[in-house]
Amino acid sequence: MSVITEVKQRLDIVELVSEYVTLQKAGRNFKGLCPFHSEKHASFFVFPEQQSWHCFGACGTGGDIFSFIMKKEGVDFGQALRLLAQRGGITLGPLEASSKVEDEKKEKLFQINEAATEYYHHLLSSTKAGGAARSYLARRKVTPEVIKEFRLGFSPDAWETLKNYLLGKGYTEKELAEVGLIIEKEEGGSYDRFRNRLMFPICDIQGRVTGFGARVLDDSLPKYINSPQAPIFDKSSILYGVDKAKSTVRKKNLVIIVEGYMDVLTAHQHGWQNVVGSMGTSLTEKQVGGIKRLTSNITLALDADLAGEEATLRGRAILAYSNAEANVILLPPGKDPDEVISEDPALWEKLVGQAMPILDFAFQSVISKVDINKAKDKSLAVQKLLPSINEIKDPVQQ
Ligand SMILES: [Zn+2]
């Protein structure tokens, strides 16, 4: 748990604000005279459920305990954190004390990714250079609306175009290398990491661009490359499209996890806004942990080939560990969600409805490979399944 979360959990906003403002109960909430502007009628509200405050008067602003203290005491975030941590009896390590510097550094890296996203998107949408990428998307039947919503882009077939563009905006080579957009050469100098590729900005749940996925436009390999691990990018903790999917996931209380970027685009284009992408064959515990804050109903739609099956078995153990309700969509052999959704939307809807509990799927996929009548195969099946079963924490399910 981060120290910020810890402080928020320890302290109650009503209690804190009451030390500065005389609050009166107003339904579930509290109101009082705004401490930040002069007024005769109370327009300053505190919401205990959200642990937030808002002035509906002249200020028209609000926030959490941190922003309240920053404004009231006239301190910066780091100082507010120290004040509130002290109040909550939480000792700050030297790491947290320097967290403001870290936050500012990360903010800069997000800005760089944002600038790169706009640049790539402009090249794709409005330049001759983006023609091949536009044709590729047209062949895959991706609509202009989806291209815009997901801010797809094109990285030019050149070594220093993005680098020079961003240096021109005042960012340093060191920062560009840190966020993974350029690669530094051992003998000195550097060059653009992404060249002649279709660009998929990967966002965190708040919609900030943390990194990129990049696909070739022909059959060359590797087909996909990604941003490297960076202070703001950890591929194993992010689900592609989660920022666009989050409200529908909450509303439907269901998330459908697919593998690829194109699967996510096609799903959203066909009205399945609760679909996110694992960006690889295996689902990680961090990815599951993140999405579980939105819903505990998780459905996996992974390719029905061996890789998908193996990934699901590993993923299954993770899901069981996190006590989520997990189901698996069984796709027709050789088809990925992208193809099924665009070729036969009705079939996709049916498959989602028929998703199978993951434990049943695990048994079926192992048993279908062995002849259950042969004693040797039987013990093999048990050996393969036992580790999974042992990991299930819920005694009822076991
Ligand atoms: Zn006010």
User: Residues 343-375: pLDDT tens digits?
Assistant: 999 999 999 999 888 777 766 666 665 555 555
Q: Which of 216, 233, 234, 236 is nearest to 224 (CA)?
A: 216
pLDDT for 303 equals 65
> Could you name the CATH architecture of 102-233?
Alpha-Beta Complex (3.90)
Tell me: domain 242-391, CATH 3.40.640.10, correct? no
- Per-residue pLDDT band for 334 (boundaries 50, 70, 90) equals confident
Amino acid at 47: F
Average pLDDT (199-216) is 94
Q: Which residue has the higher pLDDT, 218 or 96?
A: 218
Percent over 90 (pLDDT), the chain: 55
- Rounded to the nearest angstrom, the distance between the alpha carbon of 62 and the centre of ligand 1 is 9
Q: Which residue has the tokens 């961003």?
A: 166
CA of 37 to the centre of ligand 1 (A): 5
- pLDDT for position 317: 61
What distance in angstroms lies between residue 42's CA and the mean position of ligand 1's atoms? 9
Per-domain residue ranges for the chain? 3-97, 102-233, 242-391
Q: Which tokens sit at 106?
A: 């990360």
CATH of domain 3-97: 3.90.580.10
What is the band of 312 on the pLDDT scale with cuts at 50, 70, 90?
Answer: low
- Cα separation, 227 vs 325, in Å, equals 31
Collapsed DSSP state (helix, strand, coil) of residue 126: helix
User: Is the model's pLDDT at 398 over the cut of 70?
Assistant: no
Q: Which residues surround ligand 1, an ion (CB under 5 A)?
A: 34, 36-37, 55, 57, 59
Q: How many Å lie between the centroid of ligand 1 and the Cα of residue 56?
A: 7
Distance of CA 57 from the midpoint of ligand 1 (Å): 5
The CA 36 to ligand 1 mean position distance, Å, reads 5
What number of other Cβ atoms are within 10 A of residue 264's Cβ?
A: 30
Q: Is the ipTM of this complex over 0.95?
A: yes
Mean pLDDT of 41-63: 92
Query: Residue 271 contacts by C-beta under 8 Å, 6 or more apart in sequence?
Result: none
Q: pLDDT tens across 151-160, in order?
A: 999 999 999 9
Per residue in 64-123, pLDDT (tens digit) is 999 999 888 777 788 888 889 888 888 877 655 566 677 888 999 999 999 999 999 999
Q: Which residues contact 33 (CB under 8 A, 6 or more apart)?
A: 21, 22, 39, 40, 42, 44
Taking each helix axis from N to C terminus, what angle separates 99-126 and 161-168, rounded to the nearest 10 degrees? 120
How far does the centroid of ligand 1 lie from the alpha carbon of residue 33, in Å? 8
**Amino acid at position 204, single letter:** D
Report the distance separating Cα 62 and Cα 259, nearest Å.
39
Average pLDDT over residues 33-51: 92
The tokens describing 306, both together, are: 């061996």
Distance (angstroms) between ligand 1 centre and the Cα of 104 equals 28
Q: Which of 128, 184, 174, 118 is nearest to 151 (CA)?
A: 118
Q: Higher-confidence residue: 240 or 60?
A: 240
pLDDT digits (tens, 9 = 90+) for 246-278: 889 988 989 999 989 999 999 999 999 999 999
State the distance from the centre of ligand 1 to the C-alpha of 311, rounded, in angstroms: 53
pLDDT band at 245 (very low <50, low <70, confident <90, very high): very high
Predicted confidence at residue 37, as pLDDT, reads 86
CB 264 within 8 A of CB 248: no
pLDDT score of 298 more than 70: yes
Tell me if domain 3-97 and domain 242-391 are identical in fold.
no
pLDDT value at 396 more than 50:
no
What local confidence, expressed as pLDDT, does residue 290 receive?
Answer: 81
